[in-house]
Structure 1
């Protein structure tokens, strides 16, 4: 018995409509995709489509001429065109799938729908229910009220990122990003005929260093190859294998999915979806596939290899993010920043690596907070950054280390004699500044700027706050037992929780 998979297929505007006016729908491609989806359904698989094209359909309906080179349409005009085109787009999908007796459903999402936890869960429940009913949901960003895709806010490039978030929402096994090339190439194959195609990617950072992703989107779309790498990064973190292949040949989807070897027994409900995806490596690395070049994180395809349809496969992470952590990292927009010391940083990252079994499990105590930036309420997302003191790492490491190798995450008791000595020294410095004609506020500001320039700041995580920005600023550096004395109530021991590590760029 074939183990049922959940397959998300993202179609860009260039795959749905002809890029040049009058932007006729590409009926042959859409019909082939519909037949592929119905065939997948007949095999027991679940299918979700993320479809762009609302603005393009509006342009087609209004028969508007192309703009002069360098000119762009106003945001209001694009939103109006989306309102005109969205109904026609879903009607076209319904007509094509209706001929095959396959029911579909329309889901329009905005960034706010994803950022709000209850609405996110409601959308996830709706998706799950539709799939259980045998319906194919068709998702698009609601461009009529949202400008995130139009303005490239939060990198929603032609729904690439939205498709990755949708894959995370429904626990997909595959995300297919349909584009106008066979896969990811080391250079633009239209300009460089001998450019090699990437067959398999295990390390997205390594492939970024090896290939050129400077290709622009079409005249209708807003995405390019870089947005597809971002989408692949999000989806693989959620345990979803991601495939880039030719949008005009949707039958390749069926061939790739059929190559997935069925397990002898269905996995348990608690098992990860990535366990069932292990055989996919056997498909893309058959003995006939002799790679021109091989690196630990990237494999290039051989020009003579025709064992499988041309595509680029991004392998899923072996330890995918949980649904909640995926939402925190990719569904929320941070409202502020909390800066922590290195002791807190080590404790948080150790807790993340150990899955909550060591350190403080992705939670931040007030004692580790250095300062707060931005205005945010309790329950909102924040960036968590570590402040690294330059030139003091070795000395601090020796003083903070223990014999068992652990690093204390709580604040040490203050040395009152040292405080008195430092107070006398500070008074002497203030008198010297006054003699030089400098105000104390100006001197403090200059000292703060100089100190910040000497420090290195790295964002390493994002989490949810238990207190607002003012309250965290008031209790920074204090023990948890002092929180109620300072702000008048006690909500939680930790000021930030559910901290998830973000990808490091250096």
Structure 2
């Protein structure tokens, strides 16, 4: 699929990073940048697309009012800055969308809203309803009360998961870097990559860190990971800059276009692979590893040598080789406390000694995804 997907997309997720919203200084929101991304989102809505905006910038927007010059490193100050900045950020968005006669809404998500299946489905219903009402939802991580996502996460991954959540056609990452380059863009001779047919095409590329303003938490690594999530779901992705987004969406040769996979996994398996949090690990012998990788079978107790962590039936667990390499994720059918007595035994043997309810798979192949 080529760049025609950019002009035909009917449901679009746009993500803009902190450095694009705060300018080179990175100390406060740039109202011109906010206006530009709003105008861009409105142009897509005006042509008939459903549009959702994932916006970073809450922590960055709170720096100047608190007298802070750089993004704080400690969690408490980050949360304080987010608490101050989130209101400032959303107020600017509401004002500028209202000038176009568009209703916008604020949706704050935490990791729990994405990784827990019941929360995930509720978030999906809410966002889908907002889009059907003609609203442009403005999504951000709830940095004020979140923990792990501030320290380790980034809105690039969140945007990809939201795109998956609402069955988007296109994900647009707006960054201060205008494309993916074949080397760090500051390096002499680095050239932009305009088209990525498959993620294997860029495995050897050296990827950069966070943006130039120093107020974001991501970098090119998280953008490529977002592309991996989106394209595996059959969603095209465009990486571009705020200055070039209008040209790129028109199909011109700006930014980097990541083509979607033609054969995509089911939404349930995509959720399992990218949005679920493993609660434990099952260690498999060599025979079980080979059977799962080559034959796509279910995991039986006979192929498991050890269990790690505490979990209950229905939780996500990792499946790993005895060398520690994780090969898959799956939904486990037994509690962690039940499994030790089952290790290395056939299902018929377990049924005879423990009862008929034990004559089944530890992880059914329909609840398992290879990594």
TM-score normalised by structure 2 residue count: 0.91
> Which of 11, 14, 22 pairs up with 2:19?
14
Change (3 A) 1:26 1:480: same
User: For the residues of structure 2 that align with 1:234 and 1:54, how far apart are their CA atoms?
Assistant: 24
Judge conservation of contact 1:201–1:315 (CA < 8 Å) in 2: yes
Match of 2:194 in 1: 199
User: For the residues of structure 1 that align with 2:32 and 2:87, how far apart are their CA atoms?
Assistant: 20
Superposition map of 1:38-57 within 5 A: 38-57=42-61
User: For the residues of structure 2 that align with 1:4 and 1:374, how far apart are their CA atoms?
Assistant: 43
Match of 1:371 in 2: 306
Q: Does 1:220 align with 2:215?
A: yes
Match of 2:180 in 1: 184
Secondary structure of 1:471's aligned partner? coil
The CA deviation at 1:344 is: 2.7
| Structure 1 unaligned residues grouped into runs of 5+ | 257-307, 353-359, 388-455
Secondary structure of 1:121's aligned partner? helix
Aligned residue pair count: 362
The CA deviation at 1:349 is: 3.0
The farther-off stretch of 172-181 and 489-498 is: 489-498
User: For the residues of structure 2 that align with 1:105 and 1:482, how far apart are their CA atoms?
Assistant: 57
Change (3 A) 1:22 1:458: closer
Match of 1:461 in 2: 328
> Which of 226, 235, 238 pairs up with 2:230?
235
What RMSD over aligned residues (CA atoms) do the two structures have, in Å? Answer: 2.1
The superposition leaves residues 274-324 of structure 1 with CA deviations (integer Å, 9 ceiling, x where unpaired) of xxxxxxxxxxxxxxxxxxxxxxxxxxxxxxxxxx24111111112112111
User: For the residues of structure 2 that align with 1:372 and 1:486, how far apart are their CA atoms?
Assistant: 21
Match of 1:340 in 2: 284
Superposition map of 1:300-315 within 5 A: 308-315=252-259
The CA deviation at 1:9 is: 0.7
User: For the residues of structure 2 that align with 1:220 and 1:35, how far apart are their CA atoms?
Assistant: 23
Secondary structure of 1:494's aligned partner? coil
Secondary structure of 1:466's aligned partner? coil
Superposition map of 1:63-462 within 5 A: 64-67=67-70, 72-152=72-152, 156-157=153-154, 159-192=155-188, 194-209=189-204, 211-217=205-211, 218-256=213-251, 308-350=252-294, 352=296, 360=297, 363-387=298-322, 456-462=323-329
Larger radius of gyration: 1
TM-score normalised by structure 1 residue count: 0.68
The superposition leaves residues 10-58 of structure 1 with CA deviations (integer Å, 9 ceiling, x where unpaired) of 10001111342641x2222322222222222222211111100111111
Judge conservation of contact 2:111–2:149 (CA < 8 Å) in 1: no
Match of 1:408 in 2: none
User: For the residues of structure 2 that align with 1:197 and 1:74, how far apart are their CA atoms?
Assistant: 35
The CA deviation at 1:364 is: 1.3
User: For the residues of structure 1 that align with 2:173 and 2:27, how far apart are their CA atoms?
Assistant: 25
Match of 2:4 in 1: none
| Structure 2 unaligned residues grouped into runs of 5+ | 1-6
Secondary structure of 2:325's aligned partner? strand
Change (3 A) 1:365 1:15: same
User: For the residues of structure 1 that align with 2:193 and 2:9, how far apart are their CA atoms?
Assistant: 28
Judge conservation of contact 1:176–1:253 (CA < 8 Å) in 2: no
